[in-house]
């Protein structure tokens, strides 16, 4: 899944090559034209990456091609970093005067001719490899799409039917929503009530329960259910509203093919269908954050509200959608309680009353329930996967494995929460993947994660008058708005937060082999890992000798003090950008740190 981060990597590389420092260094070394050709080829590849990302799920050969592209572009980025380091070295040596010798010892200045030949050889190697994989793009029939306006796989269209016995633990939420629907707002303006929460929490199910409640049916003569999803185009929404109104039991209007009408004609039909009726309109699974589009639809409905009390109920994962559309405070849906979670899991894992016959499986089931974090869809996914399975090893497998290693259908939990990730712009995807370097339940803060993002070059350039911290906070607020973050405490210029366990699972999944959280010595370090984090301060763990040379980041646990391992690391990993040494007692760093080919951020904040 780390292939989904490739678009951002390509953008970063193209930006670096265009920088003044790299341009100046490449001209001095006589490799400017070659480097520009590499940039042009990466630009061509970048133009089809978004399409490739959508198609790689069903094409193993395409996934292999994307991994090849990532490796070559990463190597090209290393060459550019070498240029930047050389340019800095020359600048320091030429301007340092009396400390020139000391600087030369640190940077180990090589013969300029030898350096030029070595760089020319590396660039030729990268260019040849890149040309070869770039040519292969033609056989996949990829479409050019250089704008990061992604079209993603959508969920199935929803409907309003629900079986009450399938819904567990939502009665208090249901009653709160019903109370809001039935209260008299005292004016004729349209009331909009948003239900907000992460994917898999049961927002749609809650809306169905409300929609079919007896008191709601009696209070609203006309009820309409519209699954919006990605499509917030005005004409399409008006057609869906009319189609729903036409099948309402209490409003059997003449059914027509509304698709043939233009917007003006549709408005007239809407007026005829809704005028004089107190209605409830459910807009399910809304993603549109464009206020203009919502105001267009609202203005049409608002004009024809014929009696007090008409309401709109919205379900969304986005806080921004709720802010744009809502006239009431949002109802933020929470996870199920422990007891309700276990009840929901047992319902899907066993036939009625069957669980009592398998006390050992029930004990394992309690541990599985903890993995689900109160998300009804996760409980259904894992419970259903164990239905009619009574082998204890099957249950232990589900308990002991991360959720992305388990079989998933299209409407299961991981695809459900991944929909939110798929909609992120590329720079947010890279930032989100960094969360995989921390353990579940870790309390993160904006200063720490912003420092990491900045060192890795993941942050967009700050706008005029803004700093890096402002950009970091903006990204975190955007991720929070999309329901990725929880327990969010905003201090104004800084914030603290956590990730839901299943959101953390998603971060691990999308990080693929590019990010790795290492727990035990028995674990193998991924061959192509770029960002490595150790959980425990264990000398046996640090005794690992297979350290990938391409590492960009390494996060030590608090108090790490293995000088031998640190020296090995800095000697092998020339392109390291981040080294965290929280609460360590190192009195000095190895001299090999002067051989690094990038500005390194040594952080003590994690």
More confident residue, 140 or 186: 140
What confidence tier does 98 reach under pLDDT thresholds 50, 70, 90? very low
Residue 85 burial (CB < 10 Å; 0-12/13-18/19+)? buried
pLDDT over 70 at 538, yes or no: no
Q: Which of 119-128, 467-476, 595-604 has the lowest mean pLDDT?
A: 595-604
Residues 317 and 448 in one domain: no
Whether 147 maps to a domain, the answer reads no
Whether 151 maps to a domain, the answer reads no
Residues in the chain: 606
Residues 199 and 344 in one domain: no
C-alpha closest to that of 553 among 475, 476, 430, 452: 452
Q: Give Cα separations from 229 to 155, 158, 259, 512 (angstroms).
A: 8, 9, 19, 28
Residue 353 burial (CB < 10 Å; 0-12/13-18/19+)? exposed
> Rounded to whole angstroms, how far apart are CA atoms 600 and 577?
4
> Rounded to whole angstroms, how far apart are CA atoms 150 and 418?
14
Mean pLDDT of 369-393: 91
Number of structural domains (the chain) is: 5
> Rounded to whole angstroms, how far apart are CA atoms 447 and 298?
40
C-alpha closest to that of 82 among 94, 90, 71, 70: 90
> Rounded to whole angstroms, how far apart are CA atoms 438 and 262?
53
pLDDT over 90 at 325, yes or no: yes
Mean pLDDT of 356-374: 93
- Of all residues in the chain, the percent with pLDDT exceeding 70 is 86
pLDDT over 60 at 2, yes or no: no
Residue 71 burial (CB < 10 Å; 0-12/13-18/19+)? middle
**In 183-231, which residue ranges form alpha helices assigned H by DSSP?**
203-211, 214-219
Residues 535 and 474 in one domain: no
What confidence tier does 304 reach under pLDDT thresholds 50, 70, 90? low
The range of the structural domain enclosing residue 560 comes to 512-603
Whether 145 maps to a domain, the answer reads no
8 Å CB contact between 481 and 496: no
Render pLDDT for 512-534 as a digit per residue (tens, 0 to 9): 889 998 876 657 888 888 999 98
Residues 174 and 304 in one domain: yes
Q: C-alpha angle 543/547/550, rounded to 5°?
A: 160
- Of all residues in the chain, the percent with pLDDT exceeding 90 is 38
- pLDDT the model gives residue 107: 39
> Rounded to whole angstroms, how far apart are CA atoms 430 and 425?
9
8 Å CB contact between 287 and 230: yes
Whether 197 maps to a domain, the answer reads yes
pLDDT over 70 at 398, yes or no: yes
Q: C-alpha angle 302/303/306, rounded to 5°?
A: 90
Render pLDDT for 159-205 as a digit per residue (tens, 0 to 9): 778 888 789 999 999 999 999 999 887 666 789 999 999 999 999 99
Mean pLDDT of 16-43: 85
8 Å CB contact between 578 and 555: yes
Residues 262 and 210 in one domain: yes
- pLDDT the model gives residue 4: 64
- pLDDT the model gives residue 156: 66
Residue 354 burial (CB < 10 Å; 0-12/13-18/19+)? middle
Whether 152 maps to a domain, the answer reads no
What is the β-pairing status of strands 495-499 and 444-445? antiparallel
CATH of the domain at 171: 3.40.50.300
Render pLDDT for 256-271 as a digit per residue (tens, 0 to 9): 677 778 888 888 888 8
């Amino acid at each position: 899944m780390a292939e989904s981060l490739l678009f951002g990597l390509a953008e970063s590389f193209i930006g670096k090559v265009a920088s003044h420092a790299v341009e100046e260094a490449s001209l001095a070394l006589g490799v400017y034209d070659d480097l520009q050709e590499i940039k042009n080829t990466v630009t061509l590849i970048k133009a089809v990456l978004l399409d490739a990302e959508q198609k790689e799920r069903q094409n193993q050969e395409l996934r292999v091609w994307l991994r090849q592209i990532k490796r070559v572009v990463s190597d090209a980025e290393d060459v550019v970093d070498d240029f930047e380091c050389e340019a800095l070295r020359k600048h320091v040596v030429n301007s340092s005067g009396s400390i020139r010798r000391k600087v030369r010892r640190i940077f180990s200045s090589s013969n300029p001719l030898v350096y030029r030949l070595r760089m020319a050889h590396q660039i030729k190697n990268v260019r040849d490899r890149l040309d070869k994989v770039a040519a292969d793009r033609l056989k996949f029939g990829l479409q050019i799409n250089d704008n990061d306006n992604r079209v993603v796989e959508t969920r199935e269209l929803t409907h309003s039917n629900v079986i009450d016995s399938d819904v567990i633990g939502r009665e208090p939420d249901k009653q709160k929503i019903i109370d809001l629907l039935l209260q008299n707002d005292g004016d004729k303006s349209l009331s909009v009530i948003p239900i907000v929460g992460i994917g898999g929490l049961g927002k749609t199910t809650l809306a169905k329960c409300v929609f079919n409640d007896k008191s709601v049916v009696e209070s609203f003569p006309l009820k309409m259910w519209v699954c919006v999803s990605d499509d917030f185009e005005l004409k399409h929404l008006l057609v869906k509203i009319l189609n729903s109104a036409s099948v309402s039991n209490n409003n059997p209007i003449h059914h027509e093919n509304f698709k043939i009408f233009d917007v003006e004609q549709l408005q007239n039909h809407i007026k005829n269908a809704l005028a004089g009726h107190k209605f409830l309109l459910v807009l399910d699974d809304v993603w549109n954050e464009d206020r203009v589009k919502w105001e267009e639809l609202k203005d049409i409905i608002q004009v024809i509200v014929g009696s007090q009390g008409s309401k709109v109920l919205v379900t969304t994962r986005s806080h921004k959608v709720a802010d744009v559309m809502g006239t009431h405070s949002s109802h933020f849906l929470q996870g199920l309680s422990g007891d309700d979670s276990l009840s929901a899991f047992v319902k899907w894992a066993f036939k009625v009353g069957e669980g009592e016959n398998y006390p050992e499986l029930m004990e394992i089931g309690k541990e599985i329930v903890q993995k689900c974090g109160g998300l009804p869809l996760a409980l259904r996914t894992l419970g259903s996967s164990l239905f009619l399975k009574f082998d204890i090893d099957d249950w232990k497998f589900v308990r002991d494995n991360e959720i992305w290693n388990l079989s998933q259908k299209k409407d299961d939990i991981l695809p459900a929460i991944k929909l939110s990730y798929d909609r992120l712009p590329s720079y947010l995807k890279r930032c989100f993947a960094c969360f995989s370097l921390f353990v579940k339940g870790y309390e993160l803060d904006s200063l720490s994660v912003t420092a990491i993002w900045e060192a890795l070059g993941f942050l967009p350039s700050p706008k005029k008058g803004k700093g890096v911290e402002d950009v970091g906070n903006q990204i975190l607020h955007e991720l929070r708005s999309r329901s990725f973050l929880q327990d969010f405490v905003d201090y104004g210029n800084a914030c603290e937060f956590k990730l839901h366990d299943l959101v953390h699972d998603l971060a691990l999944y999308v990080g693929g082999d590019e990010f790795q959280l290492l727990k035990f010595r028995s674990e193998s370090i991924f061959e192509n890992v770029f960002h490595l984090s150790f959980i425990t301060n264990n000398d046996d763990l640090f005794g690992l000798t297979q350290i990938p040379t391409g590492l960009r980041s390494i996060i030590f646990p608090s108090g790490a003090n293995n000088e031998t391992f640190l020296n090995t690391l800095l000697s092998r990993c020339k392109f390291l950008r981040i080294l965290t040494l929280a609460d360590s007692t190192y009195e000095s760093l190895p001299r090999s740190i002067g051989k690094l080919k990038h500005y390194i951020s040594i952080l003590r904040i994690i």
